[in-house]
Structure 1
Amino acid sequence: MNGIGLKSFLLIQDDSRDDIFDVLKGIAIIFVIMGHCNVGPLRAFIFSFHMPLFFFITGYFLKIRPLNKEMLLSLKRLIVPYIFSSVCVLVIIVIRNCLKNAWFDTSYIKGFVVKFLLGFKGDSAPDWIDGTIMTFWFVWAMFWGRCMVVVLIGKIRSMKVLCVLFIILGLLGNFLGENYFIPYCIPLGLSAAGFIYVGYLLNQYKLLESINAIKFFPFLGICWLYSWWQGGIDIALFWYPSGYVFGLLGALGAFFAMFKLANVFYCKDSLFCNVIHFWGRYSLVVYCVHAMDENLNNWSFFTANCYIPIEYRDIFLVLTRLLITFVFALILLKIKPLRERVFQIRAEL
Structure 2
Amino acid sequence: MRKRFEWIDNIRGVMIILVALGHIITDGSIDNTFNSIMRMPTFFMISGYLFKFKPRKSYFKHKVMHLLVPYLVYLIPVLAIQMFFEEKGVIEYIARLLLGGPYLYAWTGVFWFITCLFFTQQIFNLFSNWKIKNITILMIIFLLFSYVNDIFFPSINIPLSINLCLYSCPLFFMGFLFKKIIEETSVSIVFPISILFLIFLTSTFYFNNLYINMKIADYGVPFLSFILSVISAFCCILIFKPFKNFHLFSFFGRASMVIMYLHLPFNYFILYIEPNLNPWLILSISVLTPTLLYYVFKKNPISRKYLLGE
Under TM normalisation by the shorter chain, which class is it?
0.7 to 0.9
Q: Are residues 1:112 and 2:93 paired?
A: yes
Q: Are residues 1:242 and 2:221 paired?
A: yes
1:84-128: CA deviation from partner (whole Å, max 9, x where unpaired)? 00122255458x67xxxx9xx6x4343222111111316xxxxxx
Alignment check: 8 A CA contact 2:150 2:219 kept? no
Match of 1:274 in 2: 247
1:242 aligned counterpart, secondary structure: coil
Alignment check: 8 A CA contact 1:24 1:258 kept? yes
Alignment check: 8 A CA contact 2:297 2:307 kept? no
Alignment check: 8 A CA contact 1:226 1:242 kept? no
Structure 2: 5+ residue stretches without partners? none
Instruction: Give the total of aligned pairs.
Output: 301
Alignment check: 8 A CA contact 1:67 1:151 kept? yes
Q: Residue 260 of structure 1: which of 238, 248, 251 is its match?
A: 238
Task: Give distance in 2, aligned partners of 1:221 and 1:315.
Answer: 23
Runs in 1 of length 4+ with deviation above 6 angstroms?
129-132, 216-224
Match of 2:37 in 1: 48
Q: Are residues 1:283 and 2:262 paired?
A: no
Identity of aligned residues (%): 20
1:80 partner letter:
V
Aligned-pair distance for 1:341?
4.1
Match of 1:168 in 2: 144
Alignment check: 8 A CA contact 1:26 1:279 kept? yes
Task: Give distance in 1, aligned partners of 2:152 and 2:255.
Answer: 32
Match of 2:122 in 1: 147
Match of 1:16 in 2: 3
Alignment check: 8 A CA contact 1:35 1:43 kept? yes
Alignment check: 8 A CA contact 1:23 1:262 kept? yes
2:156 partner letter:
Y
Match of 2:24 in 1: 37
Match of 2:183 in 1: 209
Match of 1:315 in 2: 280
2:89 partner letter:
Y
Distance 1:287 1:176, change over 3 A: farther
1:6-25: CA deviation from partner (whole Å, max 9, x where unpaired)? xxxxxxxx882221111101
Match of 2:207 in 1: 230
Alignment check: 8 A CA contact 1:89 1:292 kept? yes
Alignment check: 8 A CA contact 1:144 1:186 kept? yes
1:82 aligned counterpart, secondary structure: helix
2:260 partner letter:
Y
Distance 1:247 1:338, change over 3 A: same
Match of 1:183 in 2: 159
RMSD: 3.4
The two structures have a TM-score, normalised by structure 2, of: 0.81
Task: Give distance in 2, aligned partners of 1:161 and 1:246.
Answer: 18
Task: Give distance in 1, aligned partners of 2:79 and 2:214.
Answer: 26
Match of 2:290 in 1: 325
1:119-174: CA deviation from partner (whole Å, max 9, x where unpaired)? 1316xxxxxx9989511000011011112222245445425413422322432553
Distance 1:326 1:332, change over 3 A: same
Task: Give distance in 1, aligned partners of 2:168 and 2:8.
Answer: 19
Task: Give distance in 2, aligned partners of 1:61 and 1:179.
Answer: 33
1:285-317: CA deviation from partner (whole Å, max 9, x where unpaired)? 2222225446xx25556554x4x4xxxx33222
Distance 1:177 1:254, change over 3 A: same
Q: Between Structure 1 and Structure 2, whose CA radius of gyration is higher? A: 1
Aligned-pair distance for 1:249?
1.3
Distance 1:19 1:176, change over 3 A: farther
